[in-house]
Structure formats: C-alpha cells, structure tokens
Amino acid sequence: MRCIKCRKPAAVEVRRHHSAFCPEHFIEFFDNQVRRAIHEEKMFTHDDRILVAVSGGKDSLALWDVLLRFGYQATGLHINLGIPGYSDLSQEKTEAFARERGAELLIVDLEADYGVTVEDFKRGSERTPCSACGLSKRYIFNKVALEQGFDVVATGHNLDDEAATLLGNLIHWQEGYLVRQGPVLPAGYPNLVKKVKPLFRLAEREVAAYAVLRGIDYVLDECPNAVGARSLLYKEALNLIEQHSPGAKQSLYLGFLQKGRRLIAAADERPQLVECERCGMPTTSEVCSFCRLMERVKIRLRRARPEPVAQPASD
Amino acid sequence: MKVILRYPRRQELEFHGPRRVRDILKELNINPEAVLVIRGDSLVTGDTVVDENDVIEIRPVMSGGQTDALH
C-alpha cells in the first residue's frame, strides 16, 4: 500500500477516506482535521487561554501536542484520581511530556485536595466508578478554568468516543443529553466555562497512530475500572459495523451533528441552571451533583472507618 | 515470527512467516479497526508482509470510560 500523496510506503490506512498515508502525510491529514474542527466550530483563537484536560493517555497527549505545535496558549490540567497502579504512572507520563516540551502543567490530587479517591467512589456511591470519575473530572476542570481565568477547556474526545456516547444516548433515548451532545458546549450562566473537543473528526485509531508517529510516550494500559465498561461495548459494536462499512462511525456522528440534533432540538426543554448553594458551581438543583456525591462518600467512609477512641492526654 | 499482544493481557505468540498483517489479525479474530500494528518503530498497514524473523506488536487503541452523559 502506498501513500496517496507521495507514493512512498504507507504507514496508516484510513479506509473511511479511501486513503493511505506515509508518516509525513498522515500528520498533515491529522493536522487538517484538527484545524477544520477548530475553525468550523469556532472553538478558540490564538488569543484564548486554553486549559487542556490531560490524563496521560493517547488522546489527551495527542491533543496537547497538536495545540502546542499550532502555537496555541495551551496549559495542561492533570487530575490524580488515586487509582492504585494506574494514577501515579499517568501523572508521571503527563509530567514527562510537559517537561520535554516546556509546557505549563497544573495538577489536582483528588485525595489531597478533596479527601477522596476514585476507589472511595466504588464503596461510597451508587454511581459506577466511571460515572463518578467523569462527574468529578468535569467539575474540577470547570472549577480550575473558572478560578484561573481560562477561556475554554479542551478535551481529547475522538470520533469513536462521540459515536459511542451517541449510540448510548440513542439506546436509552436520553433527549436531554442528545440535544446538547456536540463538539462545543458554550459557556453559560452561572460559572460554566466553554468546552471543546478538537479531535472529534478523528477516529480513535487515527489519534493512536498520531501519538505513535509523534513519539508520544502515553499510558498504554486501560484504566482498571473501565474493564467491562458500557462504552467499550458500544465501541466494539461500532467497530464491527465500521469494518464491514467504512465510514459508518463518521456518518453516524457527523450526520447527527448536521441533521439529527436539529430535529431533537425542537423537543428541547432547557433546564434552569442555578448556583449550587454550597460551592457556587452551576447546577439544576439546590446542591450540585458533585457536592452531593462528596457528602454521600464521606458519610459512608466515616461509617466504614469509625473515629479512633480519644486517648487521655499524657501530660 | 513473534507477535506481541497487549489485550486483554500481554502475550507473545509464534507464527510462521511470511504472512500478511491482515491475515494474522484475521486468524486471531482481531478487528483491524481496533488496533495498530507496529514493526520496530514503524506502523504497518494490513497488506504488509511480515517475515519469519520479524517481531510485531498488536496494540489496541480503544479506551473506555463514561458514555451516558455530557462530557
């Protein structure tokens, strides 16, 4: 197989575009898809301060890499989730990436800063670990962006992530999620920072190929909590369809953005956002989901670990 | 040839060469959409012929997490 641009041996086949590329022209293809996403969706400009959510995996590091190459003001934010055998390695890879490129990196440690880890969510919440983890990450990214004056939060969600989320939202007919699913979530009152997904036009395989070709050292292992996650089932199902019908994922998701969302929007009833009475972050109820999660987890942790009996003073 | 698999656990398999990458994936029942195949420090396409003495890595590209909400 040869590169469609220069006829050198191909490194990556992109069946949905009836194409194959050598390393150099694959990077060019990748760059063009990211540029198109940023410009067509009006995600940000070179004047904006961008907070990049960085886990240490291929998607977020690839995103940070391409934004830095394009000359954007892109600061990383990594959250250490306290997952044994996984979180510390993720932080190390993220820090090494930032060091090599001289990029600014912020770190939040869930245990040190909030007194819990994702392990505690498993014991102290009805939510699945992925759900509690996702909620915490969204909350912290928004809070840090707000407090430190970033214009926009960028995440590494790719076409497969978005198509799998869409499939899940369709299977359960989550109208509220469907109408707002998209590559840009606009800023809103109160205290909601704009969120963007510049890799939404690129398949997961293409993002991984970019990471390998750029020599990015990312965490290869899957998060231990994601084993058996519904998202992986949806991705496998979509990949099976893609294998026999190249372009299916793109058609599902980009078609949804162009046509489907408009139809569902007619039935949209926007929830009224108010400020959480405890932390001031945006919510649809008096106390936000994150504060309620923290409260539940901490109550259960206290029950599981009774306070030690007070010892009499020694002097 | 040696074939290194990473998912669901690390495994090393022996195949006799020369073989095409896409035939190896087919025999292992692996969807080519879900993996990259790496020889040395290069990515290779499905039609690449792998020789007896080569080592290839089949690297999964999928990562999971939450799907049922906005993110």
pLDDT tens-digit readout, A238-273: 999 999 999 999 999 999 999 998 888 776 666 788
B69 belongs to a structural domain: no
Is residue A35 scored above 60 in pLDDT? yes
pLDDT, mean of residues A82-88 = 89
CB A135, CB A84: distance < 8 Å? no
Q: For residues A215 and B41, what is the distance between their CA atoms, to the nearest angstrom? A: 9
Could you report the per-residue pLDDT of A58-82, keeping only the tens digit for each?
999 999 999 999 999 999 999 999 8
| Cβ contact B67–A164 (<8 Å) | yes
User: How many domains are contained in chain B?
Assistant: 1
Q: For residues A172 and A193, what is the distance between their CA atoms, to the nearest angstrom? A: 27
What phi and psi, each to the nearest 5 degrees, are found at residue A187? -65, 150
Q: What is the pLDDT of residue A249?
A: 97
Q: What is the pLDDT of residue A142?
A: 97
B68 belongs to a structural domain: no
pLDDT, mean of residues A133-160 = 96
* Token duo for residue B45: 């396409």
Query: Which residues 6+ apart lie within 8 Å of A172 measured at CB?
Result: B68
Q: What is the pLDDT of residue A123?
A: 79
B71 belongs to a structural domain: no
Q: Which of A83, A31, A42, A228 is nearest to B64 (CA)?
A: A228
B65 belongs to a structural domain: no
DSSP E strands: which ranges in A23-163?
49-53, 73-80, 105-109, 152-154
3-class DSSP state of B7: coil
CB proximity B29 to A under 8 Å: no
Q: Nearest-CA distance from A144 to chain B in Å?
A: 16
Q: Which of B41, B45, B48 is nearest to B18 (CA)?
A: B48
Q: Closest-CA residue in chain B for A157?
A: B71
Which residues of chain B neighbour A58 with C-beta distances below 8 Å? Answer: 61, 63
Could you report the per-residue pLDDT of B20-68, keeping only the tens digit for each?
999 999 999 999 999 999 999 899 999 999 999 999 999 999 876 554 3
Q: What is the pLDDT of residue B65?
A: 57
Task: Say if domain A41-219+230-267 classifies as CATH 3.30.300.180.
Answer: no
- The Cα-based distances of B7 to A148, B34, B44, B55, B63 in angstroms read 40, 11, 19, 17, 11
Q: For residues A2 and A31, what is the distance between their CA atoms, to the nearest angstrom? A: 20
Give the A window 175-194 contacts with B, CB below 8 Å: 177, 180-181, 185
CB nearest to A138's CB, from B42, B60, B71: B71
CB nearest to B61's CB, from A174, A181, A205: A205
Q: Which of B45, B13, B33 is nearest to A2 (CA)?
A: B45
Q: What is the pLDDT of residue A177?
A: 87
CB proximity A12 to B under 8 Å: yes
Q: What is the pLDDT of residue B8?
A: 67
Q: Which of A189, A204, A123 is nearest to A156 (CA)?
A: A204
Task: Name the percent of chain A lying above pLDDT 70.
Answer: 96
Q: Nearest-CA distance from B57 to chain A in Å?
A: 12
pLDDT, mean of residues A38-55 = 98
| Cβ contact A223–B65 (<8 Å) | yes
Q: For residues B14 and B27, what is the distance between their CA atoms, to the nearest angstrom? A: 13
CATH of the domain at B51: 3.10.20.30
B66 belongs to a structural domain: no
| Cβ contact A12–B43 (<8 Å) | yes
Query: In which domain, by residue range, is B9 found?
Result: 2-60
Q: To which H or E segment does residue A159 belong?
A: helix A159-171
B27 belongs to a structural domain: yes
All structural domains of chain A with their residue ranges: 41-219+230-267
Sheet order of strands, A73-80 included: A105-109, A73-80, A49-53, A152-154, A194-196, A184-185
Q: For residues A75 and A23, what is the distance between their CA atoms, to the nearest angstrom? A: 27
| Cβ contact B45–A13 (<8 Å) | yes
CB proximity A227 to B under 8 Å: yes
